[in-house]
Structure 1
Amino acid sequence: MVRKTKRKLPDPAQIDEAEKQIREYSRTVKFTVVEYSFEFIVQKLNADRYYVPDYQRNLIWKPKEQSKFIESVLMGLPIPFVFFWQDDDGRMEIVDGSQRIRTIRDFMADKITLRGLEALPAANGLVHSDLPPSRQLKFADSSLRVIILDNTTDAITRTEMFTRINTGGTQANEAEVRRGSLPGPFMDLIISLSNSPEFVAMTPISQPLIDKREREELVTRFFAYLGSFIPNASNGDGDIPTYKEEPRLFYFAYVQETSEKIAAEIEANGTSATVDAMRKEFQQMLQFVTAVSPHGFTKSETGKQVPRVRFESIAVGSALALRADPSLLQRAPDLTPLLESDPFKDATKSDAANVKSKLLGRIKLVRDWLADK
């Protein structure tokens, strides 16, 4: 007989904190539910009253996926909810469901030829206008259940919902979502630095990762961690108080807040001191890492990948050390002994990569090692 291990009861404070988080988040999500016909939704989409946000524009089902969806509709199977959000102009942003809606529109416009159908094989090779008029009318009268998010739902909550509930076969990654949702001078800076020759040379990564904007993700993480680090917190050891082990929300909030700050500076002064300072600090960090790390952010001279945990440790740790002691840039101590040490290898394992204690541990390891030099 297997003896059951007695479960340790959670701390009441933990339960209270969980309930607090649930209440706070649930207050940000208010919605109504409506039902619209395909014909109505397509008319609104064609009139640009309903629109696909930038970060979803390139997410398009392959022909086989489109046909499978149309087959499901023709079979009378239920269609999952789609999510809309009404912007300040009164237009509806499609938070989730854009691929389904665009597939419906394109099928009704004879832009999709059915193929690969298994349940309705006789329909293979047909377009919408090939169907009997009665079937075309029934298709147009088919309906979608729509959840319309309250106008007060902020961008962070909307993109978080998109990431969690996205039902399409092709999904936007976090860098694409931020790029589409938060355009402006700060995002322009991130894109510019991620494409700089110096950074590209130090971050040899595969083409699929390049296509997924991995370098933009690395630059964003660098600024978010460095910009949120409070040196005198935690009894002088430093902390990132705003990091709650919800990285997606943390990065989004940082980019949004920094974008607003930079926009205010530009409106007031025509330029942004923050952008200039961030660009300078990033370039200084690259110069320093080039001098102290023989292989930059990779593990070897022929390395073709840059693990995020390794990048965060070296880049943010070095930048923090330079903030505390700018003379390090001239001394440029060889970082090899640390990079080859067991503590560094343990700190940059991918397990529990987003756990706050692990994040702070790997950043401080490099910072503190350099501080002793």
Structure 2
Amino acid sequence: MNTTQDIAELQIIDKQKIVDFDIKEFTIELLVTKYLTGLDDDDNDIYIPTYQRKFVWNIDRQSKFIESVVLGLPIPYIFTADTGDGRLEIVDGSQRLRTLVSFISGKLKLKNLSILDNLNGYKYNNLLKSRQRKFNNTTIRMISLTDKSDDEVRFMMFERINTGSSILKDMEKRKGIYGGKFIDFVYNECAKHPLFVKNTTFTENMEKRGEPQELIIRFFAYSDRYTDVRTGVNEFLNDYTNSMNKSFNRNDLYKRFDRMLKFVDSNFPYGFSKTPNSNKTPRVRFDSISVGIHLALEKNPKLSVKNVDWIESEEFKSIITAGGQNAPKAIKNRIEFVRNQLLSLI
């Protein structure tokens, strides 16, 4: 009979078989060329997949990275995965690659450098030709999963690299780990719905971090399963996203989303915002209103209301500002408060 240690060892050996990688070393010039050549036709040798976040590094951070390269400081590995057709998909390192491209193309002007402060205000073309050559010939190391490793391993690597990062937010990790048809639907259709754009407000940083898409997934997940929340909300949303990627009815979801937005647009003067000058849409406010409306319309598709003055009531404010908003009871209370108000059940 196998001991528990034998079983554990067999599992380790089995899982190790699917993790196969190479270590590559490219010059910056070659790395940038492989990214840019064929970029417009999505045929570049090294590419950034749709699940990766947008370019979010600010100029200070980009400048400091370029300074590190010029100084010859150790640069973290770039992680890639061979997709089977010879192309390399960036799993981690897109911000570094984009920064190199921005600098070499002349878009990035260095600023706020403390060590090489004489380079402040410099662009790539301001460097001596000899320094440009040295910069281009600097090598960047890369760990690349071979095509023997499957999608599960690639996403597992993405998660392990980014879990716990103060830079990568929940929606960015969700997009990376659970990217699929449902995520594409949320990003490419729902987030671009004119009434969603009209009735929500986000800062530029919130847009980059995927906050609009976070709210949309919360709407679908809570409107389907808000009474099923048992663990942390992030885990709940991840499980929902994963299940929807496997099977979901696009038309039904879009109709639900569209119906809710039309009701908001017709009845809520500030949409999901607290005031006409708000620069962000609070999550708990969006959850309460959007899901409460959906539940009310499920009960009465022809629902008509005279006013929504209760949205400014102290009772509603206390419900959505109390502590522990991610607790199952708090989620249930705020959603059902809106539903009941709309149905005149209170």
Indicate the residue corresponding to 1:20 in structure 2. none
Q: How does 1:24-173 map to 2 (within 5 A)?
A: 32=21, 34=23, 36-38=25-27, 41-42=31-32, 44-45=34-35, 48-54=44-50, 56=52, 58-59=54-55, 61=57, 65-104=61-100, 117-120=113-116, 125=122, 126-127=126-127, 129-131=129-131, 135=134, 140=137, 142-144=139-141, 146=143, 148=145, 150-153=149-152, 157=156, 160-161=159-160, 163-164=162-163
Q: Of 204, 220, 227, which aligns to 2:224?
A: 227
Q: Of 322, 333, 341, which aligns to 1:361?
A: 333
Q: Distance in 1 between matches of 2:83 and 2:204?
A: 33
Indicate the residue corresponding to 1:299 in structure 2. 274
Give the superposition deviation at 1:313. 1.0
The one-letter code of the counterpart of 2:131 is: L
Indicate the residue corresponding to 2:292 in structure 1. 317
Q: Distance in 1 between matches of 2:267 and 2:132?
A: 72
Indicate the residue corresponding to 1:239 in structure 2. 228
Compute the TM-score of the two structures, normalised by the length of structure 2: 0.67
Give the superposition deviation at 1:93. 1.6
String of CA shifts for 1:349-370, please: whole Å, max 9, x gaps.
2754434443233223334554
Q: Distance in 2 between matches of 1:184 and 1:106?
A: 31
**Structure 1: which 5+ runs fail to align?**
1-22, 230-237, 263-273
Indicate the residue corresponding to 1:9 in structure 2. none
Q: Is the 8 A contact 2:219 2:291 kept in 1?
A: yes
String of CA shifts for 1:89-118, please: whole Å, max 9, x gaps.
453221221232344466678887766654
Q: CA RMSD in A?
A: 4.6
**Structure 2: which 5+ runs fail to align?**
1-10, 38-43
Q: Distance in 2 between matches of 1:256 and 1:346?
A: 33
The one-letter code of the counterpart of 2:64 is: K
Give the superposition deviation at 1:53. 2.1
Instruction: Report the CA distance shift for 1:92/1:351 in structure 2 as closer, same or farther (over 3 A).
Output: farther
Q: Of 333, 347, 351, which aligns to 2:319?
A: 347
The one-letter code of the counterpart of 1:71 is: E
String of CA shifts for 1:20-67, please: whole Å, max 9, x gaps.
xxx9xxx89957573524356456545633212235575165665444
Give the superposition deviation at 1:314. 1.7
Compute the TM-score of the two structures, normalised by the length of structure 1: 0.63
- Classify the secondary structure of the residue corresponding to 2:300: coil
Indicate the residue corresponding to 2:171 in structure 1. 174
Q: Distance in 1 between matches of 2:228 and 2:174?
A: 27
Q: Is the 8 A contact 2:79 2:90 kept in 1?
A: yes
Instruction: Report the CA distance shift for 1:69/1:357 in structure 2 as closer, same or farther (over 3 A).
Output: same
2:325 is the counterpart of 1:336? no
Q: Of 248, 258, 270, which aligns to 2:244?
A: 258
Instruction: Report the CA distance shift for 1:255/1:71 in structure 2 as closer, same or farther (over 3 A).
Output: same
Q: Is the 8 A contact 1:87 1:151 kept in 2?
A: no
Percent identical pairs in the alignment equals 28
Q: Distance in 2 between matches of 1:189 and 1:108?
A: 34
Q: Distance in 2 between matches of 1:46 and 1:283?
A: 38
The one-letter code of the counterpart of 2:330 is: K
Q: Is the 8 A contact 1:59 1:172 kept in 2?
A: no
- Classify the secondary structure of the residue corresponding to 1:95: strand
Count of paired positions: 317
String of CA shifts for 1:279-337, please: whole Å, max 9, x gaps.
332233334446665654333566664311011012112312333x226x435375534
The one-letter code of the counterpart of 1:345 is: K
Q: Is the 8 A contact 2:272 2:289 kept in 1?
A: yes
- Classify the secondary structure of the residue corresponding to 2:228: coil
